[in-house]
Amino acid sequence: MCRKGIVCLSRLTCLLLIVCLVAVSVSGCKKSATVEPIKIGFIGDLTGDTAIWGQAGSKAGQMTTDEINAAGGILGRQIQFIPMDGRGQAVDSVNAFNSLVDQGVLCVIGTNFSSCNKAIAPIACQKKIPLLGTTCTNDAVTVDQATGLVYPYSFRIGYTDEFQAQVLGKYAATELKAKTFASFLDMTQDFAQTETTWFNKAFVANGGKMVGTVSGRSGDNDFRTQLTKLAAMKPDVILLPWFYKDVALIANQAKELGMKIPFMGPDSWDSPELMGLAGPALEGSYYCSQPAFARPETKPFHDAYVAKWGTEPEAESLAVHDGLYWVKDACERAGKVDPVALRDALESTVNFQGLMGPITVDIKTHNPSKEASLFHITGSERVFVGDFKP
Protein backbone atom coordinates (compact mmCIF):
# COMPACT_ATOMS: atom_id res chain seq x y z
CA MET A 1 0.00 0.00 0.00
CA CYS A 2 2.81 2.35 0.82
CA ARG A 3 4.58 1.47 -2.35
CA LYS A 4 1.47 2.18 -4.36
CA GLY A 5 1.11 5.51 -2.59
CA ILE A 6 4.70 6.39 -3.37
CA VAL A 7 4.21 5.47 -7.02
CA CYS A 8 1.03 7.55 -7.23
CA LEU A 9 2.76 10.44 -5.55
CA SER A 10 5.65 10.21 -8.03
CA ARG A 11 3.21 10.19 -10.91
CA LEU A 12 1.37 13.13 -9.45
CA THR A 13 4.64 15.00 -8.95
CA CYS A 14 5.66 14.36 -12.57
CA LEU A 15 2.28 15.51 -13.80
CA LEU A 16 2.54 18.69 -11.79
CA LEU A 17 6.04 19.32 -13.12
CA ILE A 18 4.80 18.86 -16.72
CA VAL A 19 1.90 21.26 -16.10
CA CYS A 20 4.30 23.83 -14.63
CA LEU A 21 6.69 23.49 -17.55
CA VAL A 22 3.87 23.93 -20.05
CA ALA A 23 2.62 26.98 -18.13
CA VAL A 24 6.08 28.51 -18.05
CA SER A 25 6.50 27.80 -21.76
CA VAL A 26 3.17 29.41 -22.65
CA SER A 27 3.92 32.33 -20.34
CA GLY A 28 7.29 32.75 -21.98
CA CYS A 29 5.71 32.79 -25.45
CA LYS A 30 3.23 35.44 -24.38
CA LYS A 31 5.98 37.49 -22.80
CA SER A 32 8.21 37.37 -25.90
CA ALA A 33 5.26 38.43 -28.06
CA THR A 34 4.62 41.52 -25.94
CA VAL A 35 8.24 42.64 -26.01
CA GLU A 36 8.73 42.27 -29.77
CA PRO A 37 10.38 45.51 -30.95
CA ILE A 38 8.49 48.11 -32.95
CA LYS A 39 10.04 48.19 -36.41
CA ILE A 40 10.37 51.66 -37.95
CA GLY A 41 11.85 51.96 -41.42
CA PHE A 42 13.96 54.72 -42.92
CA ILE A 43 14.62 55.30 -46.62
CA GLY A 44 17.44 57.65 -47.61
CA ASP A 45 20.13 58.09 -50.23
CA LEU A 46 22.73 56.02 -48.42
CA THR A 47 24.86 55.82 -51.59
CA GLY A 48 25.36 58.10 -54.56
CA ASP A 49 26.15 61.78 -55.08
CA THR A 50 23.94 63.00 -52.23
CA ALA A 51 24.72 60.20 -49.77
CA ILE A 52 25.82 62.78 -47.21
CA TRP A 53 22.11 63.46 -46.58
CA GLY A 54 20.91 59.89 -46.35
CA GLN A 55 23.80 58.77 -44.19
CA ALA A 56 23.23 61.71 -41.84
CA GLY A 57 19.58 60.72 -41.54
CA SER A 58 20.46 57.09 -40.87
CA LYS A 59 23.00 58.00 -38.19
CA ALA A 60 20.57 60.38 -36.52
CA GLY A 61 17.87 57.71 -36.63
CA GLN A 62 20.04 55.18 -34.83
CA MET A 63 21.15 57.73 -32.26
CA THR A 64 17.57 58.84 -31.60
CA THR A 65 16.36 55.24 -31.42
CA ASP A 66 18.95 54.52 -28.74
CA GLU A 67 17.81 57.60 -26.84
CA ILE A 68 14.12 56.64 -26.98
CA ASN A 69 14.86 53.03 -26.04
CA ALA A 70 16.96 54.09 -23.07
CA ALA A 71 13.97 56.11 -21.83
CA GLY A 72 11.61 53.14 -22.06
CA GLY A 73 10.75 53.01 -25.75
CA ILE A 74 7.22 53.50 -27.05
CA LEU A 75 4.43 52.26 -24.76
CA GLY A 76 6.97 50.04 -23.04
CA ARG A 77 8.31 48.49 -26.24
CA GLN A 78 11.74 49.03 -27.78
CA ILE A 79 12.26 50.37 -31.31
CA GLN A 80 14.15 48.63 -34.08
CA PHE A 81 15.33 51.23 -36.61
CA ILE A 82 15.75 49.76 -40.11
CA PRO A 83 17.52 51.99 -42.69
CA MET A 84 17.37 51.14 -46.40
CA ASP A 85 19.03 52.73 -49.42
CA GLY A 86 16.71 54.46 -51.89
CA ARG A 87 19.67 56.03 -53.74
CA GLY A 88 17.59 59.15 -54.27
CA GLN A 89 15.78 57.29 -57.07
CA ALA A 90 12.04 56.62 -57.27
CA VAL A 91 12.27 52.95 -58.32
CA ASP A 92 14.86 52.09 -55.66
CA SER A 93 12.88 53.93 -53.00
CA VAL A 94 9.64 52.12 -53.90
CA ASN A 95 11.49 48.80 -53.72
CA ALA A 96 12.92 49.78 -50.33
CA PHE A 97 9.44 50.72 -49.07
CA ASN A 98 7.96 47.40 -50.19
CA SER A 99 10.81 45.53 -48.52
CA LEU A 100 10.25 47.38 -45.26
CA VAL A 101 6.52 46.61 -45.37
CA ASP A 102 7.37 42.93 -45.86
CA GLN A 103 9.53 43.14 -42.74
CA GLY A 104 6.53 44.32 -40.73
CA VAL A 105 7.33 47.99 -40.08
CA LEU A 106 4.89 50.24 -38.27
CA CYS A 107 5.76 53.17 -40.53
CA VAL A 108 8.50 54.57 -42.75
CA ILE A 109 10.42 57.83 -42.31
CA GLY A 110 11.89 59.36 -45.48
CA THR A 111 12.74 60.17 -48.14
CA ASN A 112 14.20 63.64 -48.65
CA PHE A 113 13.44 63.56 -52.40
CA SER A 114 10.02 64.64 -53.69
CA SER A 115 10.28 62.43 -56.77
CA CYS A 116 10.71 59.39 -54.51
CA ASN A 117 7.85 60.18 -52.14
CA LYS A 118 5.50 61.01 -55.01
CA ALA A 119 6.04 57.44 -56.20
CA ILE A 120 5.69 55.88 -52.73
CA ALA A 121 2.62 57.84 -51.50
CA PRO A 122 -0.11 55.88 -53.33
CA ILE A 123 1.56 52.57 -52.35
CA ALA A 124 1.63 53.65 -48.70
CA CYS A 125 -2.11 54.23 -48.94
CA GLN A 126 -2.73 50.82 -50.55
CA LYS A 127 -0.73 49.06 -47.84
CA LYS A 128 -1.94 51.33 -45.01
CA ILE A 129 1.55 52.09 -43.75
CA PRO A 130 2.21 55.74 -42.73
CA LEU A 131 4.98 57.51 -44.67
CA LEU A 132 6.66 60.55 -43.08
CA GLY A 133 8.65 62.46 -45.69
CA THR A 134 11.60 64.33 -44.22
CA THR A 135 12.64 67.33 -46.34
CA CYS A 136 10.78 66.49 -49.58
CA THR A 137 9.04 69.70 -50.59
CA ASN A 138 6.74 69.13 -53.60
CA ASP A 139 2.97 69.45 -53.08
CA ALA A 140 2.42 66.08 -54.80
CA VAL A 141 4.18 64.29 -51.93
CA THR A 142 1.03 64.50 -49.81
CA VAL A 143 -1.74 65.53 -52.22
CA ASP A 144 -2.90 63.62 -55.30
CA GLN A 145 -2.60 66.25 -58.02
CA ALA A 146 -5.20 64.52 -60.20
CA THR A 147 -7.95 64.61 -57.58
CA GLY A 148 -6.80 67.35 -55.23
CA LEU A 149 -7.31 64.98 -52.30
CA VAL A 150 -4.75 64.29 -49.60
CA TYR A 151 -2.99 60.92 -49.56
CA PRO A 152 -4.32 59.51 -46.25
CA TYR A 153 -1.06 57.79 -45.28
CA SER A 154 1.48 60.34 -46.57
CA PHE A 155 2.80 63.13 -44.33
CA ARG A 156 5.77 65.46 -44.30
CA ILE A 157 8.02 66.85 -41.57
CA GLY A 158 9.42 69.81 -43.52
CA TYR A 159 7.75 72.61 -45.47
CA THR A 160 6.89 72.88 -49.19
CA ASP A 161 8.59 74.42 -52.23
CA GLU A 162 5.81 76.98 -52.43
CA PHE A 163 6.38 78.03 -48.84
CA GLN A 164 10.14 78.56 -48.99
CA ALA A 165 9.99 80.22 -52.43
CA GLN A 166 7.54 82.79 -51.07
CA VAL A 167 9.81 83.43 -48.09
CA LEU A 168 12.75 84.04 -50.44
CA GLY A 169 10.79 86.18 -52.90
CA LYS A 170 9.30 88.39 -50.22
CA TYR A 171 12.64 88.81 -48.46
CA ALA A 172 14.41 89.74 -51.71
CA ALA A 173 11.88 92.47 -52.47
CA THR A 174 11.20 93.85 -49.00
CA GLU A 175 14.49 93.41 -47.16
CA LEU A 176 17.12 93.39 -49.92
CA LYS A 177 15.15 96.03 -51.87
CA ALA A 178 15.73 94.11 -55.10
CA LYS A 179 13.69 95.38 -58.05
CA THR A 180 14.50 92.66 -60.58
CA PHE A 181 15.41 88.98 -60.54
CA ALA A 182 16.29 86.24 -63.01
CA SER A 183 16.13 82.48 -62.54
CA PHE A 184 18.65 79.80 -63.49
CA LEU A 185 16.68 76.53 -63.73
CA ASP A 186 17.91 72.96 -63.29
CA MET A 187 15.88 71.11 -65.92
CA THR A 188 16.43 67.77 -64.19
CA GLN A 189 14.47 68.80 -61.08
CA ASP A 190 10.73 69.54 -60.85
CA PHE A 191 11.24 71.76 -57.82
CA ALA A 192 13.26 74.29 -59.84
CA GLN A 193 10.26 75.47 -61.84
CA THR A 194 8.00 75.41 -58.79
CA GLU A 195 10.47 77.53 -56.83
CA THR A 196 10.68 80.04 -59.70
CA THR A 197 6.89 80.30 -60.04
CA TRP A 198 6.27 81.02 -56.37
CA PHE A 199 9.34 83.22 -55.90
CA ASN A 200 8.05 85.30 -58.82
CA LYS A 201 4.56 85.61 -57.31
CA ALA A 202 5.90 86.83 -53.97
CA PHE A 203 8.48 89.08 -55.64
CA VAL A 204 5.94 90.73 -57.97
CA ALA A 205 3.40 91.10 -55.14
CA ASN A 206 6.00 93.17 -53.32
CA GLY A 207 6.89 95.43 -56.23
CA GLY A 208 9.55 93.42 -58.07
CA LYS A 209 9.86 92.18 -61.66
CA MET A 210 11.23 89.04 -63.32
CA VAL A 211 13.60 89.81 -66.21
CA GLY A 212 14.26 86.32 -67.60
CA THR A 213 15.36 82.72 -67.16
CA VAL A 214 18.10 80.43 -68.38
CA SER A 215 18.40 76.69 -67.86
CA GLY A 216 20.92 73.88 -67.58
CA ARG A 217 21.16 70.29 -66.44
CA SER A 218 22.71 68.81 -63.33
CA GLY A 219 25.78 66.85 -64.37
CA ASP A 220 26.98 69.44 -66.86
CA ASN A 221 30.38 70.94 -66.15
CA ASP A 222 30.28 74.29 -67.94
CA PHE A 223 27.62 76.91 -67.20
CA ARG A 224 29.50 79.97 -68.48
CA THR A 225 27.18 80.51 -71.46
CA GLN A 226 24.10 80.68 -69.24
CA LEU A 227 25.89 82.88 -66.73
CA THR A 228 26.91 85.32 -69.45
CA LYS A 229 23.27 85.61 -70.52
CA LEU A 230 22.23 86.20 -66.91
CA ALA A 231 24.83 88.92 -66.46
CA ALA A 232 23.48 90.71 -69.56
CA MET A 233 20.00 90.80 -67.98
CA LYS A 234 21.45 92.82 -65.07
CA PRO A 235 19.13 91.42 -62.38
CA ASP A 236 19.49 92.53 -58.77
CA VAL A 237 19.38 88.88 -57.63
CA ILE A 238 19.51 85.46 -59.31
CA LEU A 239 17.36 82.56 -58.09
CA LEU A 240 19.40 79.35 -58.21
CA PRO A 241 17.25 76.30 -57.34
CA TRP A 242 19.91 73.57 -57.68
CA PHE A 243 21.54 71.04 -55.36
CA TYR A 244 24.54 72.25 -53.41
CA LYS A 245 27.31 70.64 -55.50
CA ASP A 246 25.97 72.26 -58.68
CA VAL A 247 25.50 75.53 -56.80
CA ALA A 248 29.18 75.52 -55.88
CA LEU A 249 30.24 74.84 -59.47
CA ILE A 250 27.98 77.57 -60.87
CA ALA A 251 29.05 80.09 -58.24
CA ASN A 252 32.75 79.46 -58.87
CA GLN A 253 32.28 79.93 -62.62
CA ALA A 254 30.30 83.12 -62.01
CA LYS A 255 33.18 84.43 -59.90
CA GLU A 256 35.62 83.63 -62.74
CA LEU A 257 33.43 85.73 -65.05
CA GLY A 258 33.56 88.64 -62.61
CA MET A 259 29.86 88.47 -61.71
CA LYS A 260 28.91 90.01 -58.36
CA ILE A 261 25.16 89.47 -58.46
CA PRO A 262 23.97 87.66 -55.30
CA PHE A 263 22.34 84.28 -55.69
CA MET A 264 19.33 83.06 -53.71
CA GLY A 265 18.37 79.43 -53.25
CA PRO A 266 16.17 76.91 -51.44
CA ASP A 267 17.02 74.20 -48.92
CA SER A 268 18.73 72.12 -51.64
CA TRP A 269 21.76 74.35 -50.92
CA ASP A 270 21.90 73.24 -47.32
CA SER A 271 25.02 71.23 -46.51
CA PRO A 272 28.16 71.92 -44.47
CA GLU A 273 30.07 70.95 -47.64
CA LEU A 274 28.79 74.02 -49.50
CA MET A 275 31.16 76.44 -47.83
CA GLY A 276 34.17 74.26 -48.57
CA LEU A 277 33.17 73.90 -52.21
CA ALA A 278 32.14 77.49 -52.89
CA GLY A 279 32.84 79.80 -49.95
CA PRO A 280 33.99 83.17 -51.33
CA ALA A 281 32.22 82.62 -54.65
CA LEU A 282 28.85 82.85 -52.86
CA GLU A 283 29.66 86.04 -50.97
CA GLY A 284 26.47 88.05 -50.42
CA SER A 285 24.13 85.20 -51.32
CA TYR A 286 21.14 83.92 -49.34
CA TYR A 287 19.45 80.56 -48.98
CA CYS A 288 16.47 79.10 -47.20
CA SER A 289 16.59 75.96 -45.08
CA GLN A 290 14.40 73.82 -42.90
CA PRO A 291 14.54 75.21 -39.33
CA ALA A 292 17.73 73.57 -38.20
CA PHE A 293 20.89 74.14 -36.25
CA ALA A 294 20.45 77.87 -35.83
CA ARG A 295 17.81 77.10 -33.19
CA PRO A 296 19.36 76.98 -29.67
CA GLU A 297 17.23 73.91 -28.86
CA THR A 298 19.27 71.89 -31.35
CA LYS A 299 22.69 72.40 -29.75
CA PRO A 300 22.58 69.37 -27.42
CA PHE A 301 21.60 67.16 -30.35
CA HIS A 302 24.29 68.70 -32.56
CA ASP A 303 26.99 68.16 -29.96
CA ALA A 304 25.89 64.59 -29.23
CA TYR A 305 25.86 63.77 -32.95
CA VAL A 306 29.37 65.14 -33.48
CA ALA A 307 30.63 63.29 -30.41
CA LYS A 308 29.16 59.99 -31.59
CA TRP A 309 29.86 60.14 -35.32
CA GLY A 310 32.73 62.61 -35.67
CA THR A 311 31.00 64.53 -38.47
CA GLU A 312 28.66 67.49 -38.74
CA PRO A 313 24.94 66.66 -38.91
CA GLU A 314 22.65 67.79 -41.73
CA ALA A 315 19.10 69.17 -41.66
CA GLU A 316 18.07 65.60 -42.59
CA SER A 317 19.45 64.52 -39.21
CA LEU A 318 16.99 66.73 -37.37
CA ALA A 319 14.10 65.69 -39.61
CA VAL A 320 14.66 62.01 -38.80
CA HIS A 321 15.05 62.83 -35.09
CA ASP A 322 11.76 64.72 -35.10
CA GLY A 323 10.09 62.01 -37.16
CA LEU A 324 10.88 59.31 -34.59
CA TYR A 325 9.70 61.43 -31.69
CA TRP A 326 6.58 62.39 -33.65
CA VAL A 327 5.78 58.68 -34.13
CA LYS A 328 6.34 58.14 -30.39
CA ASP A 329 4.04 61.04 -29.54
CA ALA A 330 1.34 59.84 -31.93
CA CYS A 331 1.44 56.23 -30.69
CA GLU A 332 1.16 57.37 -27.09
CA ARG A 333 -1.79 59.59 -27.95
CA ALA A 334 -3.40 56.68 -29.79
CA GLY A 335 -2.70 54.37 -26.85
CA LYS A 336 -1.53 51.54 -29.08
CA VAL A 337 1.00 50.55 -31.73
CA ASP A 338 -0.95 50.11 -34.94
CA PRO A 339 -0.44 51.65 -38.42
CA VAL A 340 -4.04 52.83 -38.83
CA ALA A 341 -4.21 54.27 -35.31
CA LEU A 342 -0.84 55.93 -35.92
CA ARG A 343 -2.13 57.50 -39.13
CA ASP A 344 -5.14 58.93 -37.33
CA ALA A 345 -2.97 60.34 -34.53
CA LEU A 346 -0.46 61.86 -36.96
CA GLU A 347 -3.27 63.63 -38.79
CA SER A 348 -4.67 65.08 -35.55
CA THR A 349 -1.29 66.42 -34.39
CA VAL A 350 -1.44 69.88 -32.80
CA ASN A 351 1.68 71.68 -31.61
CA PHE A 352 4.05 68.70 -31.44
CA GLN A 353 7.35 70.22 -30.28
CA GLY A 354 10.24 69.04 -32.44
CA LEU A 355 13.78 70.38 -32.69
CA MET A 356 12.87 71.85 -36.09
CA GLY A 357 9.98 73.73 -34.54
CA PRO A 358 6.38 72.85 -33.67
CA ILE A 359 4.24 70.70 -35.95
CA THR A 360 0.51 71.19 -36.40
CA VAL A 361 -0.86 69.16 -39.30
CA ASP A 362 -3.19 70.67 -41.90
CA ILE A 363 -5.77 67.92 -42.41
CA LYS A 364 -6.32 68.93 -46.06
CA THR A 365 -2.65 68.78 -47.09
CA HIS A 366 -0.81 66.91 -44.31
CA ASN A 367 1.67 69.79 -44.33
CA PRO A 368 3.04 71.13 -41.04
CA SER A 369 2.76 74.74 -39.99
CA LYS A 370 6.28 75.99 -39.32
CA GLU A 371 8.81 78.66 -40.27
CA ALA A 372 11.76 78.63 -42.66
CA SER A 373 15.28 79.61 -41.63
CA LEU A 374 17.19 82.10 -43.79
CA PHE A 375 20.98 82.21 -44.04
CA HIS A 376 23.32 84.88 -45.44
CA ILE A 377 26.73 83.91 -46.79
CA THR A 378 29.33 86.46 -45.80
CA GLY A 379 33.07 86.19 -45.20
CA SER A 380 32.91 82.57 -46.42
CA GLU A 381 30.57 81.76 -43.53
CA ARG A 382 26.86 81.14 -43.45
CA VAL A 383 25.18 83.43 -40.95
CA PHE A 384 21.71 82.81 -39.56
CA VAL A 385 19.37 85.70 -40.42
CA GLY A 386 16.16 84.51 -38.77
CA ASP A 387 13.03 82.38 -39.13
CA PHE A 388 10.34 83.61 -41.51
CA LYS A 389 6.91 82.91 -42.92
CA PRO A 390 5.64 84.44 -46.21
Quickly state the pLDDT bin for 380 (edges 50, 70, 90).
Answer: confident
- 183-240 pLDDT tens trace: 999 999 889 999 999 999 999 999 999 999 999 999 999 999 999 999 999 999 999 9
Answer yes or no: is pLDDT of 11 > 70: no
Average of per-residue pLDDT across 12-39:
50
Flag whether pLDDT at 73 surpasses 70.
yes
Q: What is the pLDDT of residues 243-285, one digit of tens each?
A: 999 999 999 999 999 999 999 999 999 888 899 999 899 999 9
pLDDT at residue 26 tops 60: no
**pLDDT for the residue numbered 6:** 39
Task: For residue 24, name the pLDDT band (cuts at 50, 70, 90).
Answer: very low
**For the chain, what is the mean pLDDT?**
91
**Residues 145-159, mean pLDDT to the nearest whole number:** 96
**DSSP E strands: which ranges in the chain?**
38-44, 79-85, 107-109, 131-133, 154-156, 180-186, 209-216, 237-239, 263-265, 286-289, 352-354, 357-359, 372-378, 381-388
pLDDT at 48 over 60: yes
Residue 284 to residue 262: CA distance in whole angstroms: 6
CB 152 within 8 Å of CB 343: yes
| 382 vs 332 pLDDT, higher one | 332
pLDDT higher at 2 or 304: 304
Q: Tell me how many degrees the CA angle 324-91-59 measures, rounded to the nearest 5.
A: 30
- The predicted model scores a pTM of 0.82
pLDDT number for residue 75? 98
Q: What is the mean pLDDT of residues 164-176?
A: 97
* Structural domains in the chain, sorted by start: 38-159+294-359 (3.40.50.2300), 162-289+373-388 (3.40.50.2300)
Query: Looking at residue 290, what is its pLDDT?
Result: 80
